[in-house]
Amino acid sequence: MTGLAPRPERNTMEPGDRVRVSRSVVVYTHPSHRGSAFDLEGQEGEVLQVLNEWKGRPISPTLPVVVAFGKFRAHFRDDEITPI
């Protein structure tokens, strides 16, 4: 039996890229709206990290793209954000 082959890279985003949230993503942890629903759609931020390996081994996280909006950070799927 062979191991699983790593998936081909779908994500073309790199740390430092500017992105905009293109879908409705509701969070309850935003510092200005803590405890109440806040929709991030239309917000612009910077890609901090793209998670695709851990300790040298490939992983397939559900929300691989970490985006910073000032002090606030959130994790997204590829299809929830678009490059600016």
Full DSSP string of 68-84: EETTEEEEE-GGGEEE-
Write down the pLDDT at residue 34. Answer: 87
Residues of the chain with pLDDT under 50: none
At 2-26, the pLDDT tens digits run 555 555 555 578 999 999 999 999 9
Q: What is the DSSP letter of 54?
A: E
pTM of the model: 0.80
Q: Please state, in angstroms and rounded to a whole number, the distance separating the CA atoms of residues 2 and 28.
A: 42
Domains of the chain: 18-83 (2.30.30.50)
Torsion angle of C-alpha atoms 67, 72, 76, 79, degrees rounded to 10: -70
